[in-house]
Amino acid sequence: MTLPVTDLLAILPELIVAATACLVLALDPITPAPRKGWLAWLSLGALALCFGLTASQFDVRTMAFNDLVIIDPYASFWKLLLYAVSGLTILLSMAYLKEERIHLTEYYGFLLLALSGMMVMVSAADLLTIYLGTELMSLSLYVLAGFKRADGRSLEASAKYFVLGAFSSGILLYGISLLFGVAGSTRLSAIASAVSARGLDDPALLLAMILLVVGFGFKIAAVPFHMWTPDVYEGAPTSVTAFMAVAAKAASFGAFLRVFLEGLGGLKANWHVLFLVLCIATLALGNLVAIVQTNIKRMLAYSSIAHAGYALIGVVVAGRVTADSAVRSLGLSSVMLYLAIYALMTLGAFTVVALLRKGGLEGEAIEDFAGLAKRQPLAAFLMLVFMVSLAGIPPTAGFIGKFYLFLAAVKADLAWLAVLALLFAAVSAYYYLRVVMVMYMRDPHSSTGLAPHLIASPALTVVLACALAGVLVLGLYPDPLVSLAAQAVLALK
Amino acid sequence: MSDVSMNSSGFPWLTAVVFLPLVGALLLFFVKETAVRWAALGLTLAELALSFPLWIFFDPSTPRMQFAEQVAWITAPSINYSVGIDGISLPLVLLTTFLMPFCVLVSWTAIQTRVKSFLAALLLMETAMIGVFVALDFVLFYVFWEAMLIPMYLLIGVWGGPNRLYAAMKFFLYTLTGSVLLLVAILALFFHGGQTFDILLLSGVEYPSALQSWIFLAFFAAFAVKVPMFPFHTWLPDAHVEAPTAGSVILASVLLKMGTYGFLRFTLPMLPDATDTFTPAMIGLSLMAILYGAYMALAQTDLKKLIAYSSVSHMGSVTLGIFALNAQGIEGALMQMLNHGITTGALFLCVGILYERTHSRLLADNAGLAGPMPRYAAFLVIFSLSSLGLPGTNSFVGEFLVLAGTFMWSKPAAAAAALGIILAAAYLLWMVQRVAFGVPVAKTAPKLIDLNLREWATLTPLAFLVFWIGFFPNPVLAPMHASVNHLVEHLDQRHTAVARRGTSGTDGRWLTVNKTQRPASADSHLPPPTIGRTP
């Protein structure tokens, strides 16, 4: 078998990212310690190159490798988001790793490997390709989660993530093999025709669908498959937490939306109900449990669970058979819009958390933020904006994201779901505003050097400026991103 | 659009009025710490000056939206930056711009920490509040409506009293919970009203009755919390007591009006059938608020709490006037919104001035001020008399109209509302008796120094307004007539339409107007009503 050059060209961005990852890993031993920062810049350069490539070919639609891989605007949208998020994560890591004294440049290699896995996921047209991407992403993230080797919590996070992740991958694989048994192929297109041929009541098909829902439920941290999230998010190095909460979630959504709409589109009526239940459970548990958290990383972990719940509203709309296809597309594009906005504000919030120091350690307790507004008004203001945006209050991007989701829900005659979700949004305002309250309305506890402060670094400034600009600009002028998402959705059947 | 006069002068007056404070808030951070108060005062005065042309060039003869501007904002779905004012929103915009300089003045020495941020939050509030009153696009309205929560939360929570954290969070969660339902209602209207967020277009659509009822309840959740109406008022006393004086003034004078403005702008024109259905309940809740608020005010020992409960009572009479659904009632309600803004704002300013001296808001600690502080006592008496609706003061005009309107709706309801006025006289005179003429307390007596020049400047214009509106209400009432009549006609026609549809099956919207409830005075000079706004 020979590999045609066109196939290789089609996955050029994936190749660049994977090759850079290998290069970073290979160069690491021979780079003198003071120059290891260069490897981060090398990674950033590769990301910029890929961003340019994908952006210039946004409208291209092509299949490669015997239809194992698909390049279309839908995949490109997710890839652009993933590049942006990864680039910001690398910038954040440069400052964070220095502060935490983690001097292992394999870090960037694994980050890029995880990214290439995610890219494979979102442009897969075959369940096995998706599985390959998922595993590449997950294995890299297991390692990254344990990167704070001296910290027991980090190791626990890594181990826990590995065990539960492997478990969920097993379930996913079981679902894939059942589908293979039914359809005789793992291609999404073949599965789609098998579904329409076999009818809706084939028990094997339904079981396979349920297993896929469970497997992807783990990856996007939907309740009741969220158990791993708080511990892993709390224990992992904060830069990795941010990456997991944002990029891994986006890639998993990207992959599973394609599977369920293109492969299992004929079973909409069935998975619609499953996702409706997951959506409500996720909204309820994520928002209610976040209230009682005292550690900000755990709080943000539950908040990220809750936000998966909001995004699932769009999935539910996309699977509603009674709605017409325009409404379903709106549901889908609002999921994509929401995850892009969620990525910006969550990354911003985690950046503030990662760089808040208290007596040389990371300030993780919400109480550690006490009085931040007095000492560092700018840092407090940034956190304020991110919290307000996460709570979905205008004129921030968080409001726009929710607005489109609820617009889709009301249009699909799911006004009750919108009401429910909005009431949970009001609940969420409580825990987000508690952070604001602690920053602005409490005095720092101690007068010693333990007062909280944000470490300063140019890379950090760039990350925060990007996140802030994104949250405010998209809040006031969302048109470009909205139309990009709408355009991307047209690519899906 | 037939009922919008586009801004002909070319200068975007409303946009300037809305965003000047926002720009000012940003500029404030570049001003030296010592000059920041003067800068904020200058900005609010400039804003006041900028809003005057709205009044001067306002054409009171038409109910159309004036100074209108429209720019596309978001394309899918179509959302516009669309603003304009009519006789209902103009007074509220002017009230807001008028009160802000006093909010700055009263905070001059009272706020000593993070002054810049405080003044910036005040200015952000101003932008959001004016934006709410001028927005003609529902999403734009919602953005301003919600954007106001954060600066207000900070005003109460950062610069408030000892229990400020609780009060700020309570304020925030109450109002947010109310307004999230508003968002769903807006989206539902969008799909049933022809895929538009244009408030005027949405007001011309006839919605199915069942839908109207649901949307009425969602609107009610948002607006009733803000007013606040009777069972949803519990956040108000907490927020008032803990907020700094300027925060209390903004809260009482402007924020509460946003709720009643919502009823006038959205509930009545868009949901006439549901309004009819729910009117008895709304009147009942209004009467409860009037009597319960007054009754609670009688029992208070804290001055701010007393005024807060009096606000609940007074806002009850505003909602009463609105749901009397006739021109007198609605004009009276609008007048009362203004009067309550002026009078209650002034009373909160008085309490703030006193608190700066004695650091206590308890009636018992602030007794017998007439001796050491005669001028202060004079102002307090003036504003208290205005608050209880003494003829010759501003509130008398509004209360009279509200009672007249209610009387036409139901005589027992008017009787009950009148009882509220008697109770108001009781708690306010009792308060004046104790504070102005009681026996001074030894521990606070030495701190009682009469008003200084800045405080004079704060209270005198408000006292002037109290009497000016009291004796010459027409300049204030005149701009309202056309818009209020238009609203009442709109309601009557929809009722006629429903009645006709029931009997003959034809659409009766173009048929004769039921004129029985319209005031004879305003009839003659009006142009034919501009209805038929169905897109």
Entry pTM: 0.91
Nearest CB to B158; choose among A430, A441, A486: A441
Per-residue pLDDT band for B458 (boundaries 50, 70, 90) equals confident
pLDDT digits (tens, 9 = 90+) for B312-344: 999 999 999 999 988 889 999 999 999 999 999
Q: What is d(CA B432, CA A19) in angstroms, rounded to the nearest whole number? A: 82
Q: Is A433 on the interface with B (CB under 8 A)?
A: yes
Report the sign of the C-alpha dihedral through residues B403, B409, B414, B417, in that order. Answer: negative
* A414 closest CA partner among A307, A285, A322, A288: A322
**Residue B495, domain member (yes or no):** no
How far is the CA of A300 from the CAs of A185, A355, A392, B469, in angstroms? Answer: 40, 15, 15, 54
Q: Which tens digits make up the pLDDT trace of B214-224?
A: 999 999 999 99
Q: What is the largest CA-CA distance in chain A?
A: 72
Contact A429 B117 (CB under 8 A): no
Cβ–Cβ < 8 Å for A177, A191: no
Chain A contact set for B180 (CB, 8 A)? 419, 422-423, 425-426
Look at residue B231 and tell me if it is in a domain.
yes
Per-residue pLDDT reduced to its tens digit, B160-216? 888 888 999 999 999 998 888 899 999 999 998 888 899 988 888 888 989 999 999
B486 three-class SS: helix
B517 within some domain = no
Q: Say if residues B136 and B65 touch (Cβ distance below 8 Å).
A: yes
Q: How many CA atoms lie within 13 A of A304 on its CB side?
A: 33
- Confidence class of residue B392 from pLDDT cuts 50, 70 and 90? confident
Residues 6+ apart with CB under 8 A from B166: B238, B242
What's the ipTM? 0.92
Q: CB of B200 within 8 A of CB of B4?
A: yes
Mutation test of the interface with chain B: which of A431, A440, A443, A490, choosing the one with the most B Cβ atoms within 10 A? A440
On the question of pLDDT at B533 being above 60, the answer is no
* Half-sphere exposure of residue B306: CA atoms within 13 angstroms, side-chain side: 25
How does pLDDT run across B340-383, given as a tens digit for each residue? 999 999 999 998 888 888 888 888 887 888 888 888 889 999 99
B137, B176, B192, best to mutate vs chain A, most A CBs in 10 Å: B176
Alpha-carbon span B508 to A326, nearest angstrom: 36
- The answer, yes or no, to whether the previous bond of B228 is cis (omega within 30 of 0) is yes
Q: What whole-number distance in Å separates Cα of residue B353 and Cα of residue B462? A: 15
Q: Is the pLDDT of residue B527 over 90?
A: no
Residue B511: inside a domain, yes or no? no
Q: What is the mean pLDDT of residues A221-233?
A: 91
Q: Phi first, then psi: what are they for A418, rounded to 5°?
A: -65, -40
Domain residues for the domain of A188 are: 5-490
Nearest chain A CA: its distance from B463 CA (Å) = 35
Which chain A residue shows the shortest CA-CA distance from B159?
A441
Does residue B534 fall inside a structural domain?
A: no
Compare all CA atoms of chain B with the CA of A421 and give the residue at the minimum distance: B180
> If you average pLDDT over residues A140-147, what whole number do you get?
92
The model's pLDDT over A13-56, given as tens digits with 9 standing for 90+, comes to 999 999 999 999 998 888 887 787 888 899 999 999 999 999 99
Check whether A308 has a pLDDT greater than 70. yes
Query: Which tens digits make up the pLDDT trace of A198-209?
Result: 777 788 888 999
Structural domain boundaries enclosing B83:
4-489
* Nearby residues of B104 by Cβ (< 8 Å), 6 or more positions away: B37, B40, B41, B44, B119, B122, B246
B529, part of any domain: no
The pLDDT value recorded for residue B111 is 83
**Dihedral of the alpha carbons of B167, B168, B170, B175, in degrees to the nearest 10:** 130
pLDDT of residue B362: 84
Q: Which of B316, B143, B337 is nearest to B231 (CA)?
A: B316
Count structural domains, chain B.
Answer: 1
pLDDT at A76 over 90: yes
Q: What is the pLDDT of residues A385-419, one digit of tens each?
A: 999 999 999 889 999 999 999 999 999 999 899 99
List alpha helices for B206-326, DSSP H: 209-226, 235-242, 245-250, 256-262, 268-270, 272-298, 303-323
**Mean pLDDT of the region A212-230:** 91
Which chain B residues touch A283 with a CB distance below 8 Å?
Answer: none
A380 touches chain B (CB under 8 A): no
Residue whose entry in the numeric block shows the structure tokens 């440069």: A94
| Share of residues in chain B with pLDDT > 70 (%) | 90
CA dist., res. A409 & res. A419, Å (int): 10
Residue A436, C-beta contacts closer than 8 angstroms, at least 6 positions apart? A383, A384, A387, A388, B153, B154
The answer to whether residue B532 scores a pLDDT higher than 70 is no
- Give chain A's domain count: 1
State chain B's maximal CA–CA distance in angstroms: 78
The pLDDT assigned to B506 comes to 36
Q: Is residue B55 in a domain? A: yes
Cα A438 from Cα B123, distance rounded (Å): 23
Shortest Cα distance, chain B CAs vs residue A423, angstroms:
6
Mean pLDDT of chain B: 85
pLDDT score at B510: 33
> Does the structure show a pLDDT above 60 at B521?
no
More confidently predicted of A105 and B35:
B35
- Whether B513 is in a domain gets the answer no
Greater pLDDT, A103 or B245: B245
Q: How far is CA B342 from CA A265, B95, B133, B199, in A?
A: 62, 8, 17, 29
* B83: pLDDT strictly greater than 60: yes
